[in-house]
């Protein structure tokens, strides 16, 4: 993740474990860092009155955290019936195998390598468990396997790392691609404009109350960064490392390695569109 400033989107503020919407409860993982912000938000989602729940992104391989997720479900009188993954990065998915052992659940993901069981996830799928409805939204870009989950009953979308509650995310080149990411942001914006989504339940950081504002900010931020990268190249800074030093000079240097992923994705995008000379590195 790049940058730590509060983005538009009406963030709620302090990130804590507990209810976020009528159907979604956060169990915050103890893995805070510059890259993971306050830690990974593990989402426990269920229909009110149902005794079944779905867990989205069990988080890191931390047995105490995984047991805390199970305990949160049990306190609510629910049994975890299914585990879903937004993508395969370890801070979201590394604990999935152990969590499956603790709960006896299958794990569904876009990437077959992350699945436990025969069923995966794909664009247009609707996951129904205990009366709950989650719609699978393909959002590649941060990674090639990134997904979001539309929770229509709460007018909410669970975004994993595609949109964060604070700062902005990286395009994890070469697996992540900027063109895909921009398309994904537009797809999310259409959920806000056309489908009434107003709440973002992110993989890191606080809940956002203004989904459309958040998505439009992300699109504007990407356009701004792309223009900065193009200008840096025109001024003779042609390597990813040199561009990062120019464009991300105001960002904590500990985040520069992650920023370099995004810059490589931006350089590839500019070259592919004929906006700068050369071929992608």
Instruction: Please count the other Cβ atoms lying within 10 Å of the Cβ belonging to residue 70.
Output: 18
189 touches 212 (CB < 8 A): yes
Catalytic residue among 57, 91, 145, 161: 91
Cα separation, 116 vs 106, in Å, equals 5
Cα separation, 231 vs 21, in Å, equals 43
91 noted as active-site residue: yes
**Catalytic residue numbers, as ranges:** 91
């Amino acid at each position: 993740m790049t940058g730590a400033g509060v983005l538009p989107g009406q963030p709620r503020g302090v990130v804590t474990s507990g209810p976020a919407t009528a159907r979604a409860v956060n169990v915050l993982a103890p893995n805070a860092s510059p890259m993971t912000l306050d830690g990974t938000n593990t989402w426990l989602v269920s229909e009110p009155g149902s005794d079944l729940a779905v867990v989205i992104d069990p988080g890191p391989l931390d047995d105490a955290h995984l047991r805390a997720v199970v305990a949160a479900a049990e306190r609510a009188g629910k049994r975890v019936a299914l585990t879903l993954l937004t993508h395969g990065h370890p801070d979201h998915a590394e604990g999935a195998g152990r969590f499956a052992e603790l709960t006896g659940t299958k794990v569904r993901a876009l990437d077959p390598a992350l699945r436990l069981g025969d069923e995966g996830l794909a664009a247009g799928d609707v996951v129904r468990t205990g009366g709950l409805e989650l719609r699978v939204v393909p959002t590649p870009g941060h990674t090639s396997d990134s997904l979001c989950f539309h929770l229509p009953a709460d007018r909410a979308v669970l975004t994993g790392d595609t949109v964060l509650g604070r700062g902005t995310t990286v395009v994890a080149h070469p697996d992540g691609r900027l063109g895909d990411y921009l398309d994904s942001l537009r797809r999310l914006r259409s959920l806000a404009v056309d489908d009434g989504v107003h709440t973002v339940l992110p993989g890191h950081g606080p809940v956002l109350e203004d989904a459309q504002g958040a998505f439009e900010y992300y699109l504007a931020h990407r356009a701004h960064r792309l223009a900065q990268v193009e200008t840096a190249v025109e001024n003779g800074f042609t390597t990813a490392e040199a561009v990062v030093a120019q464009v991300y000079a105001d960002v904590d240097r500990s985040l520069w390695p992650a920023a370099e992923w995004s810059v490589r994705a931006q350089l590839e995008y500019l070259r592919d569109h004929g906006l700068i000379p050369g071929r992608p590195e």
